[in-house]
C-alpha cells in the first residue's frame, strides 16, 4: 500500500509542480500586490486598493454585466441542453447525426468560428440582409443592447454540446427498471420526468451548473474576438476590465479585481458541493 502511494505521488508530482509554479505562486504574488501601493518598492496600504476598486464605475459595470450574463445565459443553456439530451436519448432516426452536430463546437477552434459570427451579425452581415429582405430595418447588433443576446447565443452554441454529453451520460446511468415499474403503476411521461429522471440527474445537474459557471467567466475570449477591446457597455465583462488594467499597467486594480473574483468562486463552489452532498444523501 505504501509503495502504491509513493508511485502515485511521483506521477502527480509534475502536475502539482506545474500548478504551483504557473498558478498558485503567481496568484499569491498578485494577492500580495493587491495590498501594496505599487509593485516595486511599495508600502502596505491594506484594503485601500479594494475600496478604490469598489468605487470604480468601470469595475461595477463589469461586475454587473458578468453577473447578469451568468444568471441568464447559464440557466438557459442548461435547460436547452437537458431538453436536447432527453430528445437524443430517444430512438429517433437522426439521433447519431444530431449527436455529432452538437459535439462539433467542442473541436472547432473558437478563433476561426468567431469569424462566422462576425459575418452573421455585422451591419452588412447575413442576419441584417435577411431582415432587410423581409422589410425590417437593420440592427447594429454589437453596438446596441442586442450585443448581450448575441453573446448569449455564442455561449450556448459553444457549451451546449458538452452539456449534452454529460446529461446523456447521466440519463444512461438511470436503471430502466424504474421506468418500467412506474409504467406498471400508471405513471405518465410528466410523472416519470419529474419523479425519476430529474431526481436521479441531480448529481449530473450540479456538475453541469458548476462547469457552466466556470465557462461563463471565460466568455472574454469570444467577446474580445467579436467586439474588440472596448465592446458595448452591455457586454463589458470583468475580464475586459482586468485586461484593460493590465494594458494600462494598473497592477493594483488588476490584482484586486482578480482576488475578488476568486473569492466569489471560492464561496460559490464549496456551497454548491455542500448542496450536492445534501441532495445525494437525501436520494440515498
Please, what are the domains in the chain? 55-283 (1.10.3720.10)
Distance (Å, whole) CA 79 – CA 159: 12
SS3 label, residue 36? strand
Q: How much is the mean pLDDT over the chain?
A: 83
DSSP code per residue over 175-197: -HHHHHHHHHTT--HHHHIIIII
Torsion, Cα 62 66 72 74, to 10 degrees, reads 160
pLDDT digits (tens, 9 = 90+) for 22-79: 888 888 888 888 888 887 777 888 888 899 889 889 899 999 998 999 999 999 999 9
Q: Is 44 helix (H, G, I), strand (E, B) or coil?
A: strand
Please tell me whether the overall predicted TM-score, pTM, comes out greater than 0.85 for this model. Answer: no
Per-position pLDDT tens, the chain of length 284: 566 677 778 888 888 898 888 888 888 888 888 888 887 777 888 888 899 889 889 899 999 998 999 999 999 999 999 998 888 887 766 666 666 667 777 777 776 777 777 778 877 778 888 888 888 888 888 888 888 888 888 888 888 888 988 898 888 888 888 887 888 877 788 888 888 888 888 888 888 998 888 888 888 777 877 777 778 888 888 888 888 888 888 888 888 988 888 888 888 888 888 887 777 666 65
- Give the C-alpha separation, 267 to 159, whole Å: 24
The CA-atom distances, in angstroms, between 210 and each of 8, 11, 213, 234 are 28, 27, 5, 24
Q: Residues with Cβ < 8 Å from 53, sequence gap 6 or more?
A: 59, 253, 256, 257, 260
Sign of CA dihedral 54, 55, 57, 58: negative
Q: How far is CA 34 from CA 241, 247, 254, in A?
A: 16, 17, 8
Q: What cell was used for 1?
A: 500500500
Grid coordinates in use for 39? 509593485
Amino acid at each position: 500500500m505504501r509503495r502504491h502511494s509513493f508511485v502515485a505521488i511521483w506521477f502527480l508530482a509534475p502536475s502539482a509542480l506545474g500548478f504551483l509554479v504557473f498558478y498558485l505562486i503567481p496568484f499569491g504574488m498578485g494577492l500580495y500586490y493587491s495590498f501594496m501601493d505599487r509593485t516595486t518598492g511599495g508600502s502596505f496600504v491594506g484594503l485601500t486598493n479594494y475600496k478604490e476598486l469598489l468605487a470604480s464605475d468601470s469595475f461595477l459595470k463589469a461586475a454587473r454585466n458578468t453577473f447578469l450574463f451568468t444568471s441568464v445565459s447559464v440557466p438557459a443553456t442548461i435547460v436547452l441542453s437537458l431538453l436536447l439530451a432527453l430528445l437524443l436519448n430517444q430512438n429517433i432516426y437522426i439521433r447519431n447525426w444530431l449527436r455529432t452536430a452538437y459535439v462539433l463546437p467542442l473541436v472547432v477552434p473558437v478563433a476561426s468560428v468567431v469569424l462566422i459570427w462576425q459575418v452573421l451579425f455585422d451591419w452588412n452581415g447575413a442576419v441584417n440582409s435577411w431582415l432587410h429582405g423581409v422589410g425590417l430595418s437593420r440592427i447594429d447588433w454589437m453596438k446596441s443592447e442586442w450585443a448581450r443576446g448575441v453573446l448569449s447565443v455564442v455561449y450556448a452554441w459553444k457549451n451546449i454540446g458538452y452539456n449534452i454529453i454529460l446529461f446523456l451520460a447521466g440519463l444512461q446511468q438511470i436503471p430502466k427498471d424504474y421506468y418500467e415499474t412506474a409504467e406498471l403503476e400508471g405513471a405518465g411521461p410528466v410523472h416519470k420526468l419529474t419523479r425519476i429522471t430529474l431526481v436521479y440527474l441531480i448529481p449530473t445537474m450540479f456538475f453541469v451548473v458548476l462547469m457552466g459557471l466556470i465557462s461563463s467567466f471565460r466568455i472574454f475570449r469570444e467577446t474580445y474576438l467579436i467586439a474588440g477591446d472596448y465592446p458595448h457597455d452591455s457586454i463589458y465583462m470583468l475580464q475586459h476590465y482586468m485586461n484593460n488594467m493590465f494594458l494600462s499597467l494598473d497592477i493594483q486594480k488588476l490584482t484586486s479585481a482578480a482576488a475578488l473574483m476568486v473569492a466569489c468562486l471560492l464561496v460559490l463552489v464549496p456551497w454548491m458541493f455542500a448542496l450536492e452532498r445534501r441532495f445525494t444523501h437525501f436520494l440515498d
